[in-house]
Chains A and B, each alone.
Chain A
Amino acid sequence: MSQVRTYTRPMAGWWRKNPYFVKYMIREASAPLFYAYALWLLAGLVALARGEAAYNTWRSASSHPLSILLHAVVVVFAIYHTWTWFRVLPKTTPDIDVQPRVLVAAGVAVAVVCCAALFAFAWWATR
């Protein structure tokens, strides 16, 4: 049986033709990075449940230079994710009747406070 051959416009590389879409695709690159980070944390959690030897293997893998380099890449993309996530907030929450600029600034401010609080907690808990 032969398939009907209708013309399909080629879409390969469509996002490279417009800087807006390039930025969009850079943003989307944070998705597999978050996914990988979650799997890495999960590996640590499972190792923690399995015992000290397993957990220490995970810890020493975490301090390998390659791991630190990859985490640094994730941090950069995570910051970009935070910025873009709150920048589209006026569009994703159209029911909130606040000036778009105020809404974006408030979102970023809350993120900064959350990050500061998280660091303060880690600082306090490990003193």
Chain B
Amino acid sequence: MKRSNAPVFWALFGAGGMLSALIAPMLVFITGIAVPTGFLLPADAMSYERMLRFAHNGFAKLALLAVVSLFLWHGGLRMYHSLHHLGFHTGAGSKLVIHGISLLGTVAAAWALLTIGF
């Protein structure tokens, strides 16, 4: 019998769900509201020099990769199932597209972090 690949996607979904449940409200607030408006945090908190220095750190690289990649896998799996709930029974095609974008996103994030260097 062919082994199912579902546990891999469910594990990524679970990890992304837990990570986002723990930090997403504050993370989105910081990167999307607080820093761009200069509210509570300095407006240059995410300046080029500062973020470049941050992204050089190995732990920061792991954290950035985890956030981008796991949020994609988590959101992607749920989006795929939501299609079904909404009556779009698109089957393997949409699964391939959604997981394909998540995979490409993960590779792109890893590429960017490696290009930035250590």
Contacts and interface: CB of A to CB of B under 8 A. Distances in A.
A118 B64 CA distance: 13
Interface string A84-126: 0110000000000000000000010011001110110011011
Contact of B115 (A31, A34, A37, A49): A49
Given A46-B108, A82-B21, A123-B41, A35 B29 contact: no
A22 interface: no
Interface string A48-61: 11001001100100
Contacts of B28: 37, 71, 74-75, 78
Interface residues of A, number: 50
Q: Is the interface of B mostly helix, strand, loop or mixed?
A: helix
Interface string A66-88: 01101110110011011001100
A28 B78 CA distance: 7
Interface residues of B, number: 54
Given A68-B33, A68-B36, A59 B79 contact: no
Interface string B93-118: 00000000000010011011101100
Given A32-B79, A38-B71, 7 more contacts: A46-B108, A48-B52, A49-B112, A62-B36, A67-B36, A86-B21, A107-B21
Interface of B: 16-18, 20-34, 36-37, 41-42, 44-48, 50-52, 54-55, 64, 67-69, 71-72, 74-76, 78-79, 82, 85, 87, 105, 108-109, 111-113, 115-116
